[in-house]
């Protein structure tokens, strides 16, 4: 029997069913297509789940990276902290040797500047320069007839660049023309 025939019987048990007549080969093709469609749908669902799991894993890795990204620099800062503690302990033990204490602090400061330099951090040149709001923050203005207007007279707090990006603007005192 090469043809399957389904009929609609108009009774209360088969209410709403339509009659479909098709060849057995067409029926088998539809059945195969339905199986393939189900397989594709399952693969799609698995791919979506894999994608979502990967997204969550990448987000977790990103958070972990951010959390521990500064570990290297912090380890170096711990060395600077150790040096400071040693200098303070020496100063407390030997009250009279101020020169040695000062020399120790200067060495630690040089070490700290060198460490910052390794990470691309450098101070912003400011004193004697023309005020630039991208690099400087004017906290005060002072009258000065010897300097052109908007020249930085004094640095109140150093500013720093990390590579070419401003980390912190320099807090400065700026000249203005004398009244009169």
pTM confidence score: 0.59
pLDDT band, very low/low/confident/very high, at 173 (cuts 50, 70, 90): very high
Domain ranges of the chain: 71-119, 122-176
pLDDT band, very low/low/confident/very high, at 104 (cuts 50, 70, 90): confident
Model confidence pLDDT, tens digit, residues 138-149: 999 999 888 889
Which pLDDT score, from 0 to 100, does residue 1 have?
Answer: 45
Q: Tell me which CATH code domain 122-176 carries.
A: 2.30.22.10
Tell me how far apart the alpha carbons of residues 73 and 83 are, in angstroms, rounded to a whole number: 16
Q: Any idea what DSSP says for residue 155?
A: E
Residues contacting 149, CB < 8 A, separation 6+: 175, 176, 177
Which pLDDT score, from 0 to 100, does residue 4 have?
Answer: 52
Per-residue pLDDT at 121 exceeds 90: yes
Q: Are strands 3-5 and 21-23 parallel, antiparallel or unpaired?
A: antiparallel
Which pLDDT score, from 0 to 100, does residue 8 have?
Answer: 47
Tell me how far apart the alpha carbons of residues 169 and 137 are, in angstroms, rounded to a whole number: 6
Q: What phi and psi, each to the nearest 5 degrees, are found at residue 48?
A: -65, -40
Residue among 123, 170, 177 at smallest CA distance from 150: 177
Q: Are strands 136-143 and 170-176 parallel, antiparallel or unpaired?
A: parallel
Model confidence pLDDT, tens digit, residues 12-53: 555 667 788 889 999 999 999 999 999 999 999 999 999 999
Model confidence pLDDT, tens digit, residues 60-103: 999 999 888 888 888 888 888 888 888 877 777 766 677 777 88
**Torsion, CA 123, CA 126, CA 130, CA 132, rounded to 10:** 50
């Amino acid at each position: 029997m090469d043809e399957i025939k389904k009929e609609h019987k108009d009774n209360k048990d088969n209410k709403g069913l339509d009659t479909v007549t098709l060849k057995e080969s067409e029926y088998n093709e539809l059945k195969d297509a339905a199986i393939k469609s189900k397989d594709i749908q399952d693969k799609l669902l698995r791919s979506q789940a894999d994608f979502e799991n990967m997204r969550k894993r990448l987000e977790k890795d990103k958070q972990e990276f951010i959390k521990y990204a500064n570990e290297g620099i912090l380890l170096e800062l711990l060395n600077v902290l150790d040096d400071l503690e040693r200098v303070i302990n020496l100063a407390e033990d030997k009250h009279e040797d101020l020169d040695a204490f000062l020399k120790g602090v200067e060495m630690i400061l040089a070490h700290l500047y060198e460490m910052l330099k390794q990470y691309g951090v450098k101070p912003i040149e400011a004193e004697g320069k023309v005020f630039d709001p991208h690099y400087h923050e004017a906290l005060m203005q002072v009258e000065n007839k010897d300097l052109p207007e908007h020249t930085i007279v004094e640095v109140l707090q150093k500013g720093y660049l990390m590579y070419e990006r401003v980390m912190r603007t320099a807090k400065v005192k700026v000249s203005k023309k004398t009244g009169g």
